[in-house]
Structure 1
Amino acid sequence: MRKALMLLLSIAILSACADDKNTNIEALNISALDYHASLDQITNIMVHDIFSPPVASRIYSYANLAAYEIVAQHNPELESLTKTINADIKIPVLDTTKNIDYKMAALIAQLEIGKTLIFSEAEITNYRDSLFVRWKENNEEIFLNSETYGMQVADAFKRWIDKDNYKETRTMPKFSVYTEDVSRWQPTPPTYMDGIEPHWMKIRPFTLDSASQFKPKPHPEFSMKVGSVFYKELMEVYEVRNQMDKTGNKSEELSIAKFWDCNPYVSTQRGHLMFATKKITPGGHWIGITKIASQKANLDFDKTVYAYTTISIGIADAFISCWDEKYSSNLIRPETLINKFIDDQWKPVLQTPPFPEYTSGHSVVSGTSAEILTQLFGDQFQFLDDTEVRYGLPQREYTSFRNAAQEAALSRLYGGIHYRAAIENGLEQGIDLGKHVVNTLNVKAL
């Protein structure tokens, strides 16, 4: 009888400990809102540090993937993505015997990878430390165990990230523009910067067999002959801009162009001074749309991380694919030709980004993003996009992600920085790539 009572007492104590363990973790109350806030912090720092669109996509993908791999070990409905992407990485196993908050560990891994890849480390360290203080005060044991595991995963990712050829591309030659071929890209006003990331196609992709796997249709053959397809597309850019001038600030086309600008390299000159106007990248805009969709769908922490991770992988591969074509076709921008042959006083609505024209990065990235988000949230997902409100622009409403992608692509014509072929063929390139990502990752509806 006494032995039976002792056994029952032991079971009760163990049960109480288990309940206490779960209560302690739940008391931390880490939610999807915390993940949104953490990723917003990384975005803010990237805007401050003026990362190029391709480099920003690399940061998003690794930071989110590190968090996801921790979540996937805890959630049986999610599978490790390292099994389906180009990933030679061994994720440390989550020790279920220890008192670990997997959400906390995921955030720690995400922030550590973000800190490793950005410039302003102090900014993200201060943000992280403020979280650490709160978590440690709530339960030191859970915090220390979660921190240890999160850092183990981050360290594994750092070793893998180190082999993606990024460091090697930092020492490769700049893009040469010394050519007599009038069809080749030339630096554009006002800063006349060298072409950025000319070797980005050498970065290790996530789902692509090669950077050229989704090579788009060729652009119309270069010709300044009146009546040629290329010349007609050039004149369309010129005439659309002139028509917008007649309409003035009330032009819908002008609103669309500005809303989707997303150029982190915009420079403003006042007198003898020139300074940068910091903006979000195209990938950052679609990360913002992912946040909007996730919150509207009321996704929990796990599904939020899943959504961000799949879209980040798609955006990263989209930039690799697009940049491969840009520096292969090496096509001149409309602004250069119009100023030289048609009207030396003409200026585009948007500042021309510092890299070759074909295909349109916005079109490729938007096409890819829309396909993935459509798979995640549905075909007729209506939303208000307030991503650009922080930059003084009003929100815009869309009936679907594909609707938004089409507008984003066409915004480059209204902005005066792309020919129609780069827009339409780029969008098709992105759609094909997006479908590939959906199939490769087996992206699930949420």
Structure 2
Amino acid sequence: MTNYITQYTPSNSPTFASRAFGYIALTMYESVVHGYPDHYSMAGQVNGLEALPLPEIGQDYDWVLSMNAAQAQIIKDIYQQTSDENKLKIDSLEQAIFEHISDTIAPEIAQRSVDYGKSVAHAIFEWSQTDGGHRGYLKNFDKNMVHPSFPGSWKPPLYAQSFSHYPLHPHWGENRTFAKANHELQEPYMIPYDTVPGSPYYEQFMAVYKKEKTLTREEKEAAIWWGDDPDVTFTPPGHSYYIATLVVEEKNPNLITTAEAYAKTAMAVADAFIKCWEWKYQYFSERANTYIPQFIDQEWESFWPDPPFPAFPSGHAIQAAASATILEKTFGNEFVFIDRAHEGRERDEVRDTDFVPRHFNTFWAFAEETANSRFYGGIHTPQDNEAGLEKGKMIAENILALNWKHQ
């Protein structure tokens, strides 16, 4: 349901979606954590969240009902702009689960559980409004922004995903991270600008140029699969949430392990987008669609259209590395799975390529293919991806370092 609402809510973006998943999944965890004495709440640990409602001492709760009520509430709170039809879908799912569970427990326990879940959701939503990204869909593009202009600076391309000549969410990097340690993370190194053939910077774009000339069918399939355009999909953060769901369905862990896996994944991805956007606007770096036509081949166009924001580092790479690291540390290095997220989508006639499900044997393999897909698409250089993968892993490790469980 969370992925459905993400896909079918207007004015969404990867940045806002990452934030939404972070709060929704943390709410999932906090709505059940006090039913498991060996686990710690994130209250007092994550940035600015001092306290949350506590269950009544000595009273019984049904934690599935608590989670159910909390999820329904927080999704509607975070996605205020979604349609009334979508809100009815959320309510319908909440009611169906309530009826299924409540038949077997006392009415007062059921009501107490629902009330507690909603109180947690309300408290987390109230806290969320102070992070800098509240209702971020109302300010996707800052029309008052003055573009920095220097050799190698980002410029709105002619061949792009968006009609906007203003970059997406230029202030997103100022938002509050979930993990305090992620706020302090050092920026990645970027190769200095150069137009001399053979220089390290030039060779980054030459690699993109050469790859576009030799794309295989499999590489084209990867490029369109991981596009996750927010206008037609559940966005890149939603794709990571989808993969977490595949793991949960396969492994079938208990309630708290499930909630913990979602919370860690979504919070890591949310922090990855904040840091990535901070660095994107710090460097304000160009993409291949402006550099290659100017210095290598004036007729060149990328296989995939440019997204409306600066290049370095790669958002796809950083968020995929963050989620893969979390899932790897939670469920083990090796996990064989088939990603069917876009199975059945109509063939991409513009690029003469089909949507073909992806097969992976490890979580890191999905992170690497996600990063490489942007290189195949011609919208990221190797250094964009390398920096993204490296920093995404660090961001995830800072989420994992929070006190989740008694050792």
Regarding TM over 0.5, the answer is yes
Corresponding residue SS for 1:82:
coil
How far does the alpha carbon of each residue in 1:141-173 deviate from its partner, in whole angstroms, 9 at most, with x for none? Answer: 444333322221122112211211224976795
Cα distance in 1, alignment partners of residues 316 and 341 from structure 2 = 15
Q: Which gives a bigger RCO, structure 1 or 2 (Cα 8 Å, sep 6+)?
A: 2
Structure with the bigger percentage of helix? 1
SS at structure 1 position matched to 2:31? helix
Residue identity matched to 2:220: L
Partners in 2 of 1:95 and 1:401 — Cα distance? 40
Secondary structure in 2 matching 1:398:
strand
Aligned counterpart in structure 2 of residue 155 of structure 1, from 122, 143, 149? 122
- Tell me by how many angstroms 1:181 deviates: 2.2
Whether the 8 Å contact between 1:363 and 1:426 is mirrored in structure 2 is yes
Q: CA deviation at 1:67?
A: 2.0
- Percent identity of the aligned residues? 29
2 CA distance for matches of 1:183 and 1:175?
Answer: 22
Q: Does 1:307 align with 2:307?
A: no
Give the number of aligned pairs: 387
Matched ranges for 1:253-272 at <5 A: 253-264=219-230
In structure 2, C-alpha distance between the alignment counterparts of 1:410 and 1:206, rounded to whole Å:
27
1:235 maps onto 2:206 in alignment: yes
Q: TM-score w.r.t. structure 1 length?
A: 0.80
Match status 1:76 vs 2:47: no
Residue matched to 2:393? 431
Q: Check if 1:280 corresponds to 2:234.
A: yes
Question: How far does residue 292 in structure 1 lie from its aligned partner after superposition?
Answer: 0.8
Distance 1:103-1:226 versus aligned 2 partners, 3 A rule: same
Q: Distance in 1 between matches of 2:181 and 2:367?
A: 25
The Cα of 1:243 is off from its aligned counterpart by: 1.6
Q: Which residue number in structure 2 is paired with residue 128 of structure 1?
A: 90
Letter in 2 for 1:254: K
| Residue-by-residue CA offset, 1:5-41 (whole Å, 9 max, x unaligned) | xxxxxxxxxxxxxxxxxxxxxxxxxxxxxxxxxxxx1
Q: Counterpart in 1 of 2:350?
A: none
**Partner Cα separation in structure 2 for residue 332 and residue 341 of structure 1:** 13
Contact 2:152 2:285 in 1 (8 A): yes
For 1:340 and 1:176, locate their aligned partners in 2 and report how far apart those are by CA, in whole Å. 25
Q: Which residue of 2 aligns with 1:381?
A: 335
Residue aligning to 1:289: 243
Question: Within 5 A, what are the aligned runs for 1:242-253?
Answer: 242-244=213-215, 247=216, 251-253=217-219
Q: Does residue 95 of the first structure (1) align with residue 56 of the second (2)?
A: yes
In the aligned structure 2, how far is the partner of 1:205 from the partner of 1:416?
30
Q: Distance in 1 between matches of 2:251 and 2:406?
A: 15
Moved more, 123-132 or 110-119: 123-132
Distance 2:144 2:337 in 1: 40
Q: Is residue 183 from structure 1 mapped to residue 152 from structure 2 by the alignment?
A: yes
Confirm or deny: 8 A CA contact 2:311 2:384 kept in the other structure. Answer: yes
Q: 1:98 to 1:330 in 2, by over 3 A?
A: same
Whether the aligned pair in 1 keeps the contact of 2:302 and 2:377 (CA below 8 Å) is: yes
Shift of 1:175: 6.8
In the alignment, the residues of structure 2 paired with residue 386 and residue 228 of structure 1 have an alpha-carbon distance, to the nearest angstrom, of 41
Match of 1:198 among 170, 173, 180: 170
CA 1:304–1:291: 2 relative to 1, 3 Å: same
Q: 1:180 to 1:80 in 2, by over 3 A?
A: closer
Distance between the aligned counterparts of 2:325 and 2:119, measured in 1?
33
Q: Say if 1:185 and 1:331, in contact at 8 Å, map to a contact too.
A: yes
| From 333, 348, 369, the counterpart of 1:407 | 369
Residue by residue over 1:318-371, the C-alpha shift from the partner in whole angstroms, topping out at 9 and shown as x without a partner, is: 111111110000001111222344434422222211110000011111111111
Match of 2:131 among 164, 169, 189: 164
Query: Using a 3 Å threshold, how does the CA distance of structure 1 residues 444 and 436 change in structure 2: closer, same or farther?
Result: farther
- Tell me the amino acid that sits aligned with residue 126 of structure 1: L
Q: Is the 8 A contact 1:201 1:323 kept in 2?
A: yes
* 1:131–1:46 distance in 2 versus 1, CA, 3 Å: closer
Q: Measured at CA, do residues 132 and 289 of structure 1 come closer, stay the same or move farther in structure 2, by a change above 3 Å?
A: closer
Deviation at 1:192, TM superposition (A): 4.1
SS at match of 1:159: helix
- Whether 2:2 is the aligned partner of 1:42: answer yes
String of CA shifts for 1:197-243, please: whole Å, max 9, x gaps. 111111111113464514212x2111121111111111111121122
Q: Find the partner of 2:187 among 207, 215, 238.
A: 215
Contact 2:6 2:238 in 1 (8 A): no
Unpaired runs of 5+ residues, structure 1, are: 1-40, 265-276
Q: Which moved more, 1:178-187 or 1:62-71?
A: 178-187
Rounded to whole Å, the distance in 1 between the matches of 2:111 and 2:210 is 62
Aligned equivalents of 2:214, 2:113: Cα separation in 1: 59
Give 1:387 shift.
Answer: 2.3
In structure 2, give the amino acid aligned to 1:147.
V
Q: Which amino acid aligns with 1:319?
A: F
Instruction: Flag the structure with larger Rg.
Output: 1
